[in-house]
Structure 1
Amino acid sequence: MKKINIGVGLLIGLFFVNCSGFLDETPDNRTKIDSVEKIGETVTLAYPKGTHVIFADIMSDNTVDSENINLENVSNTEAFFWQDMRAESQDSPSYYWFSAYTAIAQANTAYEAALKIEADLEQKGNTAELKKLKGFKGEALIARAYAHFMLVNLWAQTYNPTTAGTDLGIPYMTEVETELLPKYVRHSVQEVYDFIENDLIEGMALIGNLDRPNKTTVKYHFNMTSAKAFATRFFLYKGDFNKAIEYSDDVRVDGSNLRDYNRYNDLGPDLTQVEYAKISEETNLLVSSVMSGLGYETGKRYSMTTKQATDYLISGKSNPFGREWNYGGYGYTGSKMFIGLGKYARTFEVTDPTNQTGYRYTNVVLFSRDMLYLDRIEALISANRLSDALTMMNVWVKRHTENVPASATLKESDILKYQPTAKVDPFYINDLSSTQVAYLEYLADLRRRDTHTEGQRWFDVKRYNIEYTHRNITGAERSETLVKGDLRRAIQLPQMAISNGLEANPR
């Protein structure tokens, strides 16, 4: 694949200047994106090469003090106590921020290039190339929407229609940068959500034209199925539950294409971590290869410990059938960090064979049929379609319970008497009955179990206004509570972005 250099402005460019080469070359020396093939190459880079998983998981209520003070480090402590995180290295907030905006720049470059050659293809009547071009345009728009969606949900307060018009969002980038010192502004959360919706809807109208011949890489790109999964999540976060249900209508209620955890149990953690994010797994809809140490993570002082995971994740005490949940019980002895059955495989790209140095990679699942299944259940609950939700929850619970009897049935009474790990208080809670709230709290714990060590719990913490306390158990005494409306729920912008004129999040 050709390396295509583009300008992405100071918001991103100062961080990646050595990679982009933008300031080292005149525009005439940069590769011209003047064919459908080159547009396709460009859009393959429209996905963030960083990940939020580690820092988001640490900030959530999934983590506790393991008491191993020898494993404490600054970044881990800052994330655990919701401080402004200063690191700019791999797996830090800054790294993800800049990698997301770099991906957005690639999406914009691909989209603008497509616009320039589209009329020419139409004039020539080249329908085959025009169809592919429209598909790439759709992918670029959806990828742009996704990166902004992740940014606004990490660096801004959660969406609430009563405050979104004034809450600080993030810059929404729709054009390729042409000047060295552009001035950026933070759009409101509402504006960002509106932009995302426009890109998503327009992109979905186009992406159906795309038929990638290389089926071995198709799940590294958005297609109609993964785009629907994204749309379901977007409208769920926005509180438009009927649209979320509409975009998730293809879900198999019988759960026949969900993960087979019984198979994972047979494989064990070493093989499961290789299998989990493979594109050959039917459940996986969108997979991303990211630069991350996730596959090498063996524990920090503040993490999800095996004991904590056992207490709420595996123990039959929280299972309606009195059986253990089948998420595995594996963890590291020294750090006490829980890994379950393992989700991240180690991949190392050697760039210097002599010194054996290079980059650490791993695959992460961005969208799956499992995630979509749970998102649809939540939409059904919030739309007061409890009978349909209960049917799906029954399938889910039975599939995720070890040695469950064929006659076992999850009943509404089981949900109503269940003691959730946290109380939920979403912006639409006044529109829910007490029974709906009980269903929602039950669903939140189903998702918490399934997405352990994936960083997804942090988004539920924000959306549901969950309150909890992080405290030291040993050493210097410290205890802090993340309350509803806490300003620290919005991660502080990278210092470089603030220094270049972006308004900081209030503290």
Structure 2
Amino acid sequence: MYIALIGTAFLLGSCDDFLNTMPDNRAEIDTEAKVTSILVSAYPNKTPVLMMEYSSDNVVDHGPQYSVNYKDQEEIYLWSDITSDGNDDPRYMWQTHYSAIAAANQAIQAIYDLGDPASLAPQKAEALMCRAYAHFVLANVFCLPYNPETADKDMGIPYSEKPETQVIVKYERGTMAELYEKINADIEAALPYISDDVYTVPKYHFNKKAAYAFATRFNLFYVKPDKSNYQKVVEYATQVLGSNPDRALRQMTNYIPLGAGDVTNAYVQASENCNLLIIPAYSAAGRIGSGSGPRYNHGREITTYETYWAKGPWGSSGSSSFLILGRKLYGSNQTVRFPKLDEFWEYTDKTSGTGFAHIVFVPFTTNETLLCRAEAYTFLEKYEEAAADLNSWQVTNCLSSYVDDDGMTHTLQTLTRESINKFWNDIKYCPIPSMADGGSDRTIKKELHPQGFTVASGEQENFIQCVLHMRRIETMHDGQRWCDIKRYGIEVAHNRYGLATDILKVGDLRRAIQLPSDVIDAGLAANPR
């Protein structure tokens, strides 16, 4: 099969003209300064957040009386092949991530052409990390989760490792085993040479902590039967968190006096120690949880029974509980959000009001890295260490005490191995399907069907349930919940007004979003349905 992997602007003229010119519009990268400059383009300016979030159990159908502003919202929610064509859709996701990969490959080739000097080792490491990251993102969108039992058969995506100099190039999808081996090789080659010293603003690049945070998440997903991946998760996460993780985490008490707009601005600041990598993107994902398109959205029923207002291991439930995130919600019954991800509008014509929607996205934070480590500790059966990490997340996300409407003072209790087990033993599994109407049958505990690994019943499952619940709250509106649903084979029910509830079963092939239609038309194998 032959396919042009990225949408580069080719300079096609007569045969002679073509043979005597470079086949695309790339400039020659012949100085160290130019190498550094091109790496700005090695970060994708689109994000799959919207696709992944609307695929997850963080949204419900509120009915046809509410608007659907974008066709892709409905197609994604219904797990249909996505035919719309915008910044948040498969075509642009594919194109922009492979364009970022092309920039990384061009930088790497230029470094070799310059003799691979030691002075450019940090730039080569950044390029390798960017290449690995873009492939990893695409894998999480367009592939089934990595499963060591089936990875040598499951379809991956093409791993691009060199600049293309031909218009038509033969690509094969390869397997998930091959894909993850190559991602891992790039990460491991890059980590020793990442340096913060080459950046003016390190958090807009794969600085040292961001690189180790990516390596942490990747190894959590890269399941090994001997559990060596979990050892790496602990090692790499500790590089990020240091000896006192409480100080490295987002201090939610600082957000209490802020309004919605100020929360948004504060949340994405490079000055926040917890923010490790910051990427601006063209996207309407800032409208998730907002009033734009309230038919399919994170509404009050999910908020009340499954996320922010549900009773958690910290205790009380509702809008006036320990959890600070639950006290800082905005919207309506159909659109509930904590305003960490909002829209920044770029006008191209102020008179007509046209322009581009942007978000500022934080793909790696210390909070999420901490929860990765807690998950790894759980599989290593280091429950005291896992409990300590889970308690650190609780302490920095909850009030230490509060006074209720009756004048009663409530004090936050330390999460311990015993209290985690007691809490989760008492929670019933959320039924499938769980209807949106009222939603009172919903719970925060989902049945797990891990893909290629096992979760022992009892204590180990209790800890994993705790990790997954905290991850769901922590990564709300980031799209990461979809990755956890895939990894753990969590069955998801999407209610549909006037139709039967659609249940995404464990083996449902729609867990891999379909490739862009033009990529399939060009010859790359489609995801089976």
Q: Fold conserved (TM > 0.5)?
A: yes
Which residue identity lines up with residue 22 of structure 2 in the other structure?
P
- Report deviation, 1:502: 0.2
Which one of the candidate residues 28, 31, 37 is aligned to 1:35?
A: 31
Q: Distance in 1 between matches of 2:466 and 2:185?
A: 33
Which residue identity lines up with residue 292 of structure 2 in the other structure?
G
Q: Deviations over 1:286-341 (max 9, x none)?
A: 010101123355332111113321323233622433234211352323x721112x
Which one of the candidate residues 185, 197, 211 is aligned to 1:227?
A: 211
Distance 1:67 1:331, change over 3 A: farther
Structure 1 partner of 2:356: 359
Structure 2 partner of 1:295: 286
Which one of the candidate residues 47, 51, 55 is aligned to 1:55?
A: 51
Mapping for residues 81-480 of structure 1, pairs under 5 Å = 81-118=78-115, 130-131=118-119, 133-208=120-195, 211-214=197-200, 217-239=201-223, 240-250=229-239, 251-252=241-242, 253-296=244-287, 298-300=291-293, 301-315=295-309, 317-322=311-316, 323-327=321-325, 328-333=327-332, 336-340=334-338, 342-352=339-349, 355=352, 357-404=354-401, 408-416=413-421, 417-418=423-424, 419=427, 420-427=444-451, 429-430=453-454, 432=456, 434-472=458-496, 474=497, 476-480=498-502
- Report deviation, 1:27: 1.9
Q: Distance in 2 between matches of 1:349 and 1:118?
A: 41
Which residue identity lines up with residue 463 of structure 1 in the other structure?
R
Distance 1:456 1:23, change over 3 A: farther
Distance 1:324 1:93, change over 3 A: farther
Q: Distance in 2 between matches of 1:436 and 1:374?
A: 15
Which residue identity lines up with residue 277 of structure 2 in the other structure?
L
Moved more, 143-152 or 93-102: 93-102
Secondary structure, counterpart of 1:360 in structure 2: strand
Q: Which is helix-richer, 1 or 2?
A: 1
Which residue identity lines up with residue 470 of structure 1 in the other structure?
H
Q: Distance in 2 between matches of 1:386 and 1:319?
A: 16
Which residue identity lines up with residue 338 of structure 1 in the other structure?
V
Distance 1:383 1:321, change over 3 A: same
Secondary structure, counterpart of 1:168 in structure 2: coil
Distance 1:22 1:224, change over 3 A: farther
In the alignment, is the contact (CA less than 8 A) between 1:310 and 1:329 conserved in 2? no
Secondary structure, counterpart of 1:43 in structure 2: helix
Q: Distance in 2 between matches of 1:317 and 1:344?
A: 24
Which one of the candidate residues 68, 72, 75 is aligned to 1:75?
A: 72
Distance 1:348 1:103, change over 3 A: same
Question: How many residues of Structure 1 are paired with residues of Structure 2 in the alignment?
Answer: 478
Q: Distance in 2 between matches of 1:144 and 1:465?
A: 28
Structure 2 partner of 1:3: none
Distance 1:22 1:415, change over 3 A: farther
Q: Distance in 1 between matches of 2:26 and 2:364?
A: 34
Moved more, 324-333 or 424-433: 424-433
Moved more, 67-76 or 392-401: 67-76
Secondary structure, counterpart of 2:355 in structure 1: strand
Q: Distance in 1 between matches of 2:411 and 2:212?
A: 32
In the alignment, is the contact (CA less than 8 A) between 1:316 and 1:325 conserved in 2? no
In the alignment, is the contact (CA less than 8 A) between 1:423 and 1:466 conserved in 2? yes
Secondary structure, counterpart of 2:311 in structure 1: helix
Q: Distance in 2 between matches of 1:182 and 1:354?
A: 44
- Report deviation, 1:486: 1.0
Moved more, 483-492 or 246-255: 246-255
Structure 2 partner of 1:125: none
Which residue identity lines up with residue 287 of structure 1 in the other structure?
I
Q: Distance in 1 between matches of 2:512 and 2:461?
A: 25
Q: What RMSD in Å do the two structures reach over aligned CA positions?
A: 2.3
Distance 1:307 1:284, change over 3 A: same
Q: Distance in 1 between matches of 2:472 and 2:182?
A: 29
Moved more, 169-178 or 252-261: 252-261
Which residue identity lines up with residue 299 of structure 1 in the other structure?
S
- Report deviation, 1:159: 0.6
Q: Deviations over 1:319-378 (max 9, x none)?
A: 433234211352323x721112x1124323344566554322221001111111111111
In the alignment, is the contact (CA less than 8 A) between 1:48 and 1:147 conserved in 2? yes
Normalising by structure 1, report the TM-score: 0.89
Secondary structure, counterpart of 2:280 in structure 1: strand
In the alignment, is the contact (CA less than 8 A) between 2:384 and 2:416 conserved in 1? no
Unaligned runs of 5+ in 1: 1-8, 122-129
Q: Percent identity?
A: 33
In the alignment, is the contact (CA less than 8 A) between 1:348 and 1:358 conserved in 2? yes
- Report deviation, 1:248: 1.3
Q: Distance in 2 between matches of 1:69 and 1:11?
A: 42
In the alignment, is the contact (CA less than 8 A) between 2:145 and 2:451 conserved in 1? no
Which one of the candidate residues 485, 503, 506 is aligned to 2:525?
A: 503
Q: Distance in 2 between matches of 1:197 and 1:54?
A: 26
- Report deviation, 1:265: 2.1
Unaligned runs of 5+ in 2: 224-228, 402-409, 428-443
Distance 1:325 1:354, change over 3 A: closer
Structure 1 partner of 2:406: none
